[in-house]
């Protein structure tokens, strides 16, 4: 299962407004770099699924 990132831990992250596929950084390097870095930041803040508790 995927890890969860509670909303309060996502404050300050530059996330895109839509889902997208990230294949490589060749076509739109600046946008892809921004989006890739944003999702890496989310992963670093994520709580493992088994440890996530509401509230």
Q: Quick one: DSSP state of residue 37? A: H
pTM comes to: 0.49
The H or E element spanning position 27 is none
12 lies in a domain? Answer: yes
**Residue 47 within a domain:** yes
Report the sign of the C-alpha dihedral through residues 41, 55, 51, 3, in that order. negative
The answer as to whether 46 is a domain residue is yes
pLDDT number for residue 26: 64
Specify the pLDDT at position 10.
76
Q: What is the mean pLDDT of residues 42-55?
A: 86
Q: In the chain, how many domains are there?
A: 1
Each residue of 12-42: pLDDT tens digit?
887 777 777 777 666 678 877 888 888 899 8
Q: Tell me, what's the pLDDT at 36? A: 86
* H helical segments located in the chain: 29-45
Contacts of 4 (CB under 8 A, 6+ apart): 46, 47, 49, 52
Domain assignment of residue 42, given as a range? 7-51
Q: Is residue 2 part of a domain?
A: no
């Amino acid at each position: 299962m995927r890890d969860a990132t509670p909303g309060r831990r996502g404050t300050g992250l530059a996330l895109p407004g839509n889902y997208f596929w990230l294949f490589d950084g060749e076509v739109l390097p600046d946008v892809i770099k921004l989006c890739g870095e944003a999702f890496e930041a989310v992963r670093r803040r994520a709580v493992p699924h088994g440890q996530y508790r509401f509230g």
